[in-house]
Amino acid sequence: MADTVQDPRLFRDTMGRFATGVTVLTFAVGDEVRGMTANSFTSLSLDPPLLLVCIGRDVSTFPLWERVDSFVVNILGDDQKAVSDIFARHGAPPVPDSGVAYHDGAVGAPVLDGTLAYAECRLSARYEGGDHTIVVGEVVNFSIERPNDQPLLFFAGKYRTLSPAS
Ligand SMILES: Cc1cc2nc3c(=O)[nH]c(=O)nc-3n(C[C@H](O)[C@H](O)[C@H](O)COP(=O)(O)O)c2cc1C
C-alpha cells in the first residue's frame, strides 16, 4: 500500500527482512583511524572489481567519509558480535584504542584481525542517496582468512547465525 511508505519505521522493518552479513568498515583520514559497523555492503562489479557501502549522513564519522580516499570492508564471523557492537556504538573508540587487534593494510587503512574475509579499496566514486551517501570502492586487495567458518548475520533488527535450511 502506498501509504505505508509514509511510515519510516515500517519501511525500515520491511527492509530489515532482507538478511545480510555484518561488516566493519575501517578507514584512516589524517590522524583519525576509525571503524563503523555496516550491513549496507554490496559487491557491485567484477571487472573492474567494485563494491559499495552506504553511509548515513547523520553518523558522526560522516565528515571523515567525505575525505576518505581508501577503506577496508572487514567481514565478521559469528564469534565477532562484540566487535560489531564496539563499532556500532555512538562515540566508538578509534581502532587503535578499541581493543580489537588489527594490522596495517595495503591502502593505509587498518585491517581487523580475526575476520572471515576482507577487501581493501581505493575510493572510486560517491553518489547521493537520499539521507545516505553511496561510497563505491575499487578493490585492490582481498583475502579469505577463515574459509571454513560461519558469518555473523543481521535480520529483523537482531544478530543471527546460520542454521541449515530445511
Ligand atoms: C548491524 C548494523 C549495521 C549497520 N549498517 C550501517 C550502514 O550500512 N550504514 C550506516 O551509515 N550505519 C550503519 N549502522 C549504524 C552505524 O554503525 C552507527 O550509526 C555508527 O557506528 C554510530 O555512529 P554515531 O557515532 O554517529 O552514533 C549499522 C549498525 C548496525 C548495528
Whole-model pTM: value is 0.96
The pLDDT tens digits of the residues spanning 110-147 come to 999 999 999 999 999 999 999 999 999 999 999 999 99
> Span 97-115, mean pLDDT?
97
**Residue with CA at minimum distance from ligand 1 atom 13:** 38
- Cα separation, 166 vs 163, in Å, equals 9
Q: How far is the CA of 74 from the centre of ligand 1 (A)?
A: 14
State the residue for C-alpha cell 544478530.
Answer: 159
Mutate to test the pocket of ligand 1, among 59, 155, 158 (most ligand atoms within 8 A of CB): 59
The pLDDT tens digits of the residues spanning 23-44 come to 999 999 999 999 999 999 999 9
Quick one: how far is CA 92 from the chain centroid? Answer: 14
pLDDT at 3: 56
The Cβ of residue 108 has, within 10 Å, a number of other Cβ atoms equal to 16
CATH hierarchy code of domain 21-150:
2.30.110.10
Q: How far is the CA of 166 from the centre of ligand 1 (A)?
A: 32
> Residue 141: how many CA atoms within 13 Å on its side-chain side?
13
* pLDDT beyond 70 at 160: yes
* pLDDT beyond 80 at 4: no
**Residue with CA at minimum distance from ligand 1 atom 16:** 88
Instruction: Reduce the secondary structure of 104-159 to three states and give it as a string.
Output: ECCCCCEEECCCCEEEEEEEEEEEEECCEEEEEEEEEEEEECCCCCCEEEEECCEE
